[in-house]
Protein backbone atom coordinates (compact mmCIF):
# COMPACT_ATOMS: atom_id res chain seq x y z
CA UNK A 1 0.00 0.00 0.00
CA UNK A 2 2.86 2.39 0.69
CA UNK A 3 4.17 1.96 -2.86
CA UNK A 4 0.78 2.79 -4.35
CA UNK A 5 0.43 5.81 -2.05
CA UNK A 6 3.77 7.14 -3.30
CA UNK A 7 2.60 6.83 -6.91
CA UNK A 8 -0.65 8.60 -6.02
CA UNK A 9 1.39 11.39 -4.44
CA UNK A 10 3.51 11.65 -7.60
CA UNK A 11 0.34 11.93 -9.71
CA UNK A 12 -0.93 14.75 -7.48
CA UNK A 13 2.47 16.48 -7.69
CA UNK A 14 2.45 16.23 -11.49
CA UNK A 15 -1.01 17.83 -11.61
CA UNK A 16 0.19 20.71 -9.40
CA UNK A 17 3.34 21.17 -11.47
CA UNK A 18 1.31 21.15 -14.70
CA UNK A 19 -1.01 23.89 -13.37
CA UNK A 20 2.00 25.90 -12.19
CA UNK A 21 3.71 25.60 -15.59
CA UNK A 22 0.57 26.83 -17.37
CA UNK A 23 0.32 29.81 -14.99
CA UNK A 24 4.00 30.57 -15.52
CA UNK A 25 3.42 30.57 -19.29
CA UNK A 26 0.41 32.89 -18.96
CA UNK A 27 2.57 35.39 -17.08
CA UNK A 28 5.81 34.98 -19.04
CA UNK A 29 4.59 33.91 -22.51
CA UNK A 30 6.77 30.78 -22.39
CA UNK A 31 7.51 27.79 -20.23
CA UNK A 32 10.72 27.74 -18.19
CA UNK A 33 13.67 26.64 -20.29
CA UNK A 34 15.22 23.23 -19.61
CA UNK A 35 18.20 25.02 -18.02
CA UNK A 36 15.92 27.00 -15.70
CA UNK A 37 13.98 23.86 -14.86
CA UNK A 38 11.16 23.57 -12.39
CA UNK A 39 13.10 25.79 -9.98
CA UNK A 40 11.76 28.73 -12.07
CA UNK A 41 8.36 27.97 -10.53
CA UNK A 42 9.77 28.82 -7.10
CA UNK A 43 12.04 31.81 -7.80
CA UNK A 44 12.40 34.24 -10.66
CA UNK A 45 14.93 32.83 -13.12
CA UNK A 46 18.45 34.23 -13.15
CA UNK A 47 19.35 32.30 -16.32
CA UNK A 48 18.30 33.54 -19.77
CA UNK A 49 15.64 34.00 -20.87
CA UNK A 50 14.78 36.18 -17.91
CA UNK A 51 11.14 36.56 -16.90
CA UNK A 52 10.39 40.23 -16.11
CA UNK A 53 6.68 39.41 -15.67
CA UNK A 54 7.36 36.59 -13.19
CA UNK A 55 4.57 36.64 -10.58
CA UNK A 56 5.38 33.56 -8.53
CA UNK A 57 6.09 31.55 -6.68
CA UNK A 58 3.89 29.24 -8.70
CA UNK A 59 4.32 26.30 -6.31
CA UNK A 60 3.69 26.48 -2.59
CA UNK A 61 6.82 24.62 -1.51
CA UNK A 62 10.15 23.51 -2.93
CA UNK A 63 9.54 19.84 -2.08
CA UNK A 64 7.06 19.70 -5.00
CA UNK A 65 9.88 19.68 -7.56
CA UNK A 66 11.16 16.40 -6.06
CA UNK A 67 9.29 13.14 -6.47
CA UNK A 68 8.17 11.02 -3.50
CA UNK A 69 11.42 9.03 -3.83
CA UNK A 70 13.41 12.25 -3.19
CA UNK A 71 14.69 12.67 -6.77
CA UNK A 72 14.13 15.76 -8.91
CA UNK A 73 11.32 15.43 -11.42
CA UNK A 74 12.74 15.26 -14.96
CA UNK A 75 11.67 18.36 -16.91
CA UNK A 76 11.97 19.22 -20.60
CA UNK A 77 10.45 22.08 -22.57
CA UNK A 78 10.38 23.58 -26.03
CA UNK A 79 9.32 26.93 -27.48
CA UNK A 80 8.18 25.78 -30.92
CA UNK A 81 5.54 24.67 -30.39
CA UNK A 82 5.26 25.50 -26.71
CA UNK A 83 5.47 22.20 -24.88
CA UNK A 84 6.78 20.48 -21.78
CA UNK A 85 7.13 17.09 -20.16
CA UNK A 86 7.58 16.21 -16.50
CA UNK A 87 8.53 12.70 -15.45
CA UNK A 88 9.43 10.51 -12.50
CA UNK A 89 11.17 7.18 -12.90
CA UNK A 90 9.29 5.56 -10.03
CA UNK A 91 10.73 3.74 -7.03
CA UNK A 92 13.76 2.26 -8.79
CA UNK A 93 14.87 5.47 -10.56
CA UNK A 94 15.36 3.53 -13.80
CA UNK A 95 13.57 4.09 -17.12
CA UNK A 96 10.59 1.76 -17.59
CA UNK A 97 9.34 -0.73 -15.08
CA UNK A 98 6.05 -1.84 -13.63
CA UNK A 99 4.33 -1.81 -10.29
CA UNK A 100 6.22 0.35 -7.79
CA UNK A 101 8.94 0.91 -10.40
CA UNK A 102 6.65 2.28 -13.12
CA UNK A 103 7.39 5.68 -14.59
CA UNK A 104 4.85 8.51 -14.51
CA UNK A 105 4.87 11.12 -17.27
CA UNK A 106 2.92 14.25 -18.12
CA UNK A 107 3.32 15.66 -21.64
CA UNK A 108 1.72 18.86 -22.91
CA UNK A 109 2.06 20.30 -26.40
CA UNK A 110 0.25 23.46 -27.39
CA UNK A 111 -1.50 23.59 -30.73
CA UNK A 112 -0.28 27.17 -31.25
CA UNK A 113 2.78 29.32 -30.58
CA UNK A 114 0.90 31.48 -28.03
pLDDT tens profile 48-87: 999 999 999 999 999 999 999 999 999 999 988 899 999 9
> Is the residue at 64 inside a domain?
yes
pLDDT confidence of residue 112: 62
Beta bridge partners of 45: none
CA–CA distance, 113 with 94 (Å, rounded to integer): 33
Residue 16: give its domain's CATH number: 3.30.700.10
Query: Distance of CA 49 to CAs 29, 96, 113, Å?
Result: 11, 33, 17
> Is the residue at 94 inside a domain?
yes
Over 90: is that where the pLDDT of 99 sits?
no
pLDDT confidence of residue 73: 97
Region of 93 (left: φ > 0; alpha: ψ -120 to 50; beta: rest) is left
Mean local confidence (pLDDT), 20-32: 96
CA–CA distance, 4 with 87 (Å, rounded to integer): 17
Where does the pLDDT of residue 2 fall: very low under 50, low under 70, confident under 90, or very high at 90 and above? confident
Where does the pLDDT of residue 113 fall: very low under 50, low under 70, confident under 90, or very high at 90 and above? low
Entry pTM? 0.91
Domain that holds residue 19: 2-109
> Is the residue at 92 inside a domain?
yes
Q: What's the total number of domains in the chain?
A: 1
Mean local confidence (pLDDT), 27-44: 96
> Is the residue at 114 inside a domain?
no
Nearest residue to 37 via CA among 72, 89, 82, 67: 72
Share of residues in the chain with pLDDT > 90 (%): 85
Q: What is the helix (H) or strand (E) element at residue 84, kind and residue range?
A: strand 82-88
> Is the residue at 23 inside a domain?
yes
> Is the residue at 93 inside a domain?
yes
Amino acid sequence: RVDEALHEQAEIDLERITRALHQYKLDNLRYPSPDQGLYALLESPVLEPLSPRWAGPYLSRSSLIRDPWKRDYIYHSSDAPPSFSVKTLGADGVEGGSGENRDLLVVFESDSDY
